[in-house]
Amino acid sequence: MKETGSISIHTENIFPIIKKFLYSDHEIFLRELVSNAVDATQKLQSLARQGEFTGELGELKVRVTVDKEARKITISDRGLGMTAEEIKKYINQIAFSGATEFVEKYKETDANAKDQIIGQFGLGFYSAFMVAKEVEIWSKSYKEGSATAHWVCDGSTEFSLDEPTGEHEKAERGTDVVLHVADDSDEFLDETRLRGILTKYCKFLPVTIEFEGEVINNTDPIWTKQPSELSDEDYKKFYHELYPLSLDEPLFWIHLNVDYPFNLTGILYFPKVKDELQLQRNKIQLYSRQVFITDEVKDVVPEFLMLLHGVIDSPDIPLNVSRSFLQADAAVKKINTYITKKVADKLSSLFKQDRAGYEEKWGDIGMFVKYGMLSDEKFYDKAKDFALLQNTDEKLFTINEYTEHVQTNQKDKNDTTVVLYTNDAEAQHGYVAAAKERGYDVLLFDQVLDPHFVGQLEQKVEKTSFKRVDAAPVSHLIEKDETTESVLSEDEQTKLSDTFKTAIANDAMHVKVTALSPQDAPVLITQNEFMRRMKDMQRTGGGGGMQMFGAFPDSFDVTVNANHPLVQKILADGGEKLAKQAFDLALLAQGMLKGEALTQFVKRSTELL
């Protein structure tokens, strides 16, 4: 008996639409068909467990083969199979309505979101028609006495269904899906291409997948196990299984495992991040019941944790909707919050349990932590207790420890603690040394995010301000009530100022005569903290209002120390040459003396000697 029929009654032919619009993602047909084969296998296993199937399970592999000559791809399973009636129900009706739903959604979606829908919609069985001009199903149900069911469809809405006997009868239980590859889909007859697709999507499926006799997958990846069953070696080994090209060892990891209010398992690895450029290399992979979905996890994982590596597996992430929907999805929001909390908890326990070990890792994790603090209030609140600040003697402090550490020496006249820092200990060596000599401590903030981090700390930590060591002469960095008396009269100061202005002859240099200690340098070049910081922020992408500061030319303060003997000598001699020399020395100390000016300086130095 052979039956023919029509799948569609109420809608236009959907196959051309599937084919045309899914163009960029044709390869997922294999993921869909192999997943169906795995589902069918697992359903049989669970029937066997429940005693509803008592026959031999036998070897339950899913086999994928390709016959280039005959232009055929076959996906075979030994799962529960389908009777002809079941094919009518599941393939003609259910699978078809899935595909129809996809097309409807697709048509409703605006142009920009179309790409997203394609990647995230499990199109199911009918995705076969993206690459095949004809699809056959040969199936034999596990139910005793079942006949072979044979279904053929050529991509139109017509199908035929029969129950062949004799030589065409299927010997074994299960389903073979045979794709007759379309003329424009030759790439899928290529063995390497198919192996690549299987490795990408099926690497961790729970049933053995064999392609051309070779096993593709690891059926029980460690994220499906309990942390108590696993050793550090297991985690490291799995890291390399995920990222075969990575040479580095992960620093540490977090095993995620939650089943309420959503279902999620996974492992997140903290990589070494010494080199900021290679950060994104290994992306977090998103799975749904061990089927690879995507490594674009932007909306599922908080932005700052995208620097991490690893896997997340959740059947609760709605993969069949557009990205804008995903962003607003309550389950996704909860997942985000959960992951952030887990990461904070892990860091906190590492910090508490093994401070020394944690400090050793700080160089690698500091950036995550700072990035997280800057981008997520809740994370800041947790991380403020384990974020570390490093001083120029390479000692590490928590924020609280540090404010405690400097508060006796570094309070200004308004009772504000002034935290001093350098962003380049080499270049600002003179300023750092001067500050230390005065008993101050100097922090090192030399990473990309640090200008923003400094800004954040200043807002969050009460009664604290931050100043870069070269923001003012050391005796003025922390303003106290006491003032140093100038030994010069006002007239003398004006005269001195004029001498320097003429000698320097540069409008960007603002000359100020100030009474400092005779031990301070005769001339000092500094840059106002506020202006410099705005320019820094603008350079590192502060955006918005910061833009305008970038347009200002750099300007500097030149502080002439009225109480320095050399300055008094310059005043007495009216020596512009000496003034210029003293100014150049100050430039030299800031690493700002270059080119022609440097040559002149060397020449003048020889003359003066």
Residues of this chain that bind ligand ATP (CB under 6 A): 32, 36-37, 40, 77, 79-80, 82, 90-91, 94-95, 98, 122, 124-125, 175
State in angstroms the smallest separation of the CB of 9 from ligand ATP: 18
Q: Are 120 and 322 in contact (CB under 8 A)?
A: yes
CA-wise closest residue to 52 among 126, 141, 113, 135: 141
Least distance from ligand ATP to the Cβ atom of residue 126, Å: 6
Q: How far is the CB of 76 from ligand ATP (least distance, A)?
A: 9
- For residue 556, the number of C-alpha atoms closer than 13 Å in the C-beta half-sphere is 17
Are the CB atoms for 65 and 115 separated by under 8 Å? no
Q: What is the Cα–Cα distance from 170 to 575, expressed in whole angstroms?
A: 107
* Residues whose CB is less than 8 angstroms from the CB of residue 42 and which lie 6 or more positions away in sequence, other chains included: 79, 206, 207
CB 142 to ligand ATP: min, Å: 10
- Considering the complex, what minimum distance in angstroms separates the CB of residue 152 from ligand ATP? 15
CB of 37 to ligand ATP, least distance (A): 5
Query: CB nearest ligand ATP: which residue?
Result: 124
For residue 385, what are its two tokens?
Answer: 């207790």
Half-sphere exposure for 567 (CA within 13 Å, toward CB): 31
Q: Which is nearer to ligand ATP, 146 or 423 (CB)?
A: 146
Distances (CA, A) of 556 to 373, 395, 528, 577, 583: 32, 31, 7, 21, 12
CB of 14 to ligand ATP, least distance (A): 13
CA dist 481 to 62, 163, 323, Å?
82, 100, 59
Pairing mode, strands 174-181 and 132-140: antiparallel
- Specify the DSSP class assigned to residue 80: S
Which CB sits closer to ligand ATP, 55 or 545? 55
**Closest to ligand ATP by CB, 95 or 511:** 95
Residue 172 Cβ, how far from ligand ATP at the closest point, in Å?
A: 13
Closest CB to ligand ATP among 122 and 164? 122
Residue nearer to ligand ATP on the CB measure, 125 or 351: 125
- Tokens for 366? 């500091």
What is the closest distance, in whole angstroms, from the C-beta atom of residue 123 to ligand ATP in the complex?
Answer: 6
Q: What tokens does 355 get?
A: 């401070």
Strands, sheet with 72-77, edge to edge from the N-terminal-most edge strand: 2-6, 158-162, 148-153, 132-140, 174-181, 72-77, 62-67, 209-211, 214-215
State which residue, 65 or 407, has the beta carbon closest to ligand ATP. Answer: 65
Smallest distance, Å, CB 82 to ligand ATP? 5
Query: Of 254 and 293, which has the nearer Cβ to ligand ATP?
Result: 293
State which residue, 289 or 429, has the beta carbon closest to ligand ATP: 289
- Residue 74 vs 336, nearer CB to ligand ATP: 74
| Alpha-carbon span 119 to 27, nearest angstrom | 11
Determine how many CB atoms are found less than 10 A away from the CB of residue 356: 6
* CB nearer ligand ATP, residue 129 or residue 583: 129
Instruction: Tell me which residue of 303, 338, 345 sits closest to 317, measured CA to CA.
Output: 338
